Amino acid sequence: MTTFMDQDFLLQTETARTLYHDHAAKMPIIDYHCHIDPMEIYRDKRYDTITEVWLGGDHYKWRAMRSRGVAEKYITGDASPAEKFQKWAETVPELIGNPLYHWTHLELQRYFGITEPLNGDNAMEIFENCNEILHREDMSVRGIIQKSNVKLICTTDDPADDLRAHELLAADPTSPAVVLPAFRPDKAMRADKADFPRYVARLEQAVGYEINTVADMRRALNDRIAWFADHGCCVSDHALDYCFCEEASEEALNAIYARAKAGAGITWQEQLAYHTALLISVGREYARRGWVMQLHFGCLRDNSKKMLRRLGPDTGFDSMNDAANALGLSRLLNALEEADALGKTVLYSLNPADNGIIGTVMGAFQTDSEVPGKLQQGAAWWFNDHKAGMEEQMRSLMSLGVMGTFNGMLTDSRSFLSYTRHEYFRRILCNLFGQLVENGEYPADRQHLGQLVENISYNNTLHYFGFDKVLK
């Protein structure tokens, strides 16, 4: 019987063990998509309890606790940190096969040196041990980043943000990693949302002029792209419910925008037309600058309106959307290509049924570029970043694309302890390669395989995003 989560965790063959320990484990981390607050890095935030860092904003854990019947008081409510941790600890043993079980214990091992499985009986002992360790000098946010061998972090930032935290970090020679903004203009593109007029006013304040037409909005976004570029940004991120391409005349777009800015309702088709026009506009600017555009799609958000009213968005009530992205994705990429707006692009779907769609559609647009894998299938995302989901995504990519150009893993997290997800991914990657070798499906060329693993773990991301310009 294999020992629980030992040094060879998930590494089932000798080839896999060699690839991981000799190659993957030594590579640094580039976390090119996450939701952490850069000001917490600058201020070197410290945590009072493990509950704060583990349960403070982790809707993965919140969903699991709700599914086990834990009252909201112990999840997002006013229970004490010890009570919340106790409820989480009681949930953990029930999570057999869930990535949260592995992530929890990887974090306990790597950051706290705790190897025993967490459960309700030892919860308070582990709670106190973790809290004591968190109070050590080297367990601040900066210390955690350094322990994790993280070289570069891209946060998620709105066009209207002042990027003050990034300015402070850039001027700080003691910063533990390069921290860059990522451009996330969703609020400027969702004219159907009730708070759109307020957001436009905020963006107008940021750019210093009124935004009265779609042309003005294009200008404003391009001006903010330039502002972000001045702060080292080279990547954008867009959240789409699903892929679409709805074209309209400039006159029609201006009428849509005017009604939305005035707080009047617009139809969903009108929203898609407005959104399409701005995607093409910013896409052209990204391509001109050599930026990477990330498109996240296939998410059905805020399913429980009751809980949305109670807790707000991003609190664990989203789901996969229907897998219906083939035509919309093809039309969108084609429209971008026709407008000279299809540069380096990473495609993520929350629905694993889209893996084959992404692999085949993106293969039709890998043209006129010297960039290896100009269009990328992103890592298994959100509800898919478990062992089976990662294997499924990588097997699909190997079958339909070029695995050697893959950019590997990201945390997509709000927690500074989530860097172990890179280790989790790398172990699964090495095991997958090891199986191919052991099955006689790929030669046992350890040098070449080792280089592939190092590239997917770090080097591909370094060069694809252009981070090699700042990481010397």
Our CA angle for 287, 291, 293, nearest 5°, is 85
Q: What is the pLDDT of residues 254-295, one digit of tens each?
A: 999 999 999 998 999 999 999 999 999 999 999 999 999 999
Across the range 120-130, mean pLDDT stands at 98
* Per-residue pLDDT reduced to its tens digit, 420-436: 999 999 999 999 999 99
Task: Count CB atoms within 10 A of the CB of residue 69.
Answer: 7
State residue 325's pLDDT score: 81
- Quote the pLDDT of residue 208: 98
Measured between alpha carbons, how far apart are the two ends of the chain, in Å? 45
Distance (Å, whole) CA 352 – CA 389: 7
Q: Which of 283, 280, 262 is nearest to 191 (CA)?
A: 262
Give yes or no for a contact between 19 and 383, defined as CB atoms under 8 angstroms apart: no
* Nearest alpha carbon to residue 419 among 61, 53, 159: 53
Q: How confident is the model at residue 361 (pLDDT cuts 50, 70, 90)?
A: very high
pLDDT per residue over 384-401, tens digit each? 999 999 999 999 999 999
What's the pLDDT at 370? 86
Q: What is the 3-state secondary structure (H, E, C) of 190-247?
A: CCCCCCHHHHHHHHHHHHCCCCCCHHHHHHHHHHHHHHHHHCCCCEEEEECCCCCCCC
Answer yes or no: is pLDDT of 332 > 90.
yes
- The confidence score (pLDDT) of residue 288 equals 97
% of the chain residues with pLDDT over 90: 96
The structure's pTM equals 0.96
In DSSP notation, 402-444 reads -GGG--------S-TTTTHHHHHHHHHHHHHHHHHHHTTSS--
The owner of tokens 């609020």 is 187
Angle at 202 between CA 197 and CA 205, to 5 degrees: 130
Q: What is the pLDDT of residues 208-242, one digit of tens each?
A: 999 999 999 999 999 999 999 999 999 999 999 99
- Per-residue pLDDT band for 31 (boundaries 50, 70, 90) equals very high
66-123 per-position pLDDT tens digit: 999 999 999 999 999 999 999 999 999 999 999 999 999 999 999 999 999 999 999 9
User: Nearest Cα to 53, choosing from 115, 133, 113?
Assistant: 133
pLDDT band at 381 (very low <50, low <70, confident <90, very high): very high
* Amino acid 255: pLDDT: 98
**Which residue spans within 299-343 are E strands per DSSP?**
299-300, 319-320
Taking the C-alpha atoms of residue 276 and residue 268, their distance in angstroms, rounded to an integer, is 12
pLDDT at 1: 82
Computed over every residue of the chain, the mean pLDDT equals 96
> Does residue 225 contact residue 293 with C-beta atoms inside 8 Å?
no
CA 91 to chain centre: 25
How far is the C-alpha of 153 from the C-alpha of 394, rounded, in Å? 24
323, pLDDT greater than 80: no
The structure tokens listed for 328 are 């919309």
What is the distance between the alpha carbons of residues 297 and 279, in angstroms, rounded to a whole number?
Answer: 14
Element containing residue 375 per DSSP (H, E): strand 375-377
Taking a C-beta distance cutoff of 8 angstroms, is the pair 409, 422 a contact?
A: yes
pLDDT score, position 57: 86
Distance between CA 194 and CA 263 in Å, rounded? 7
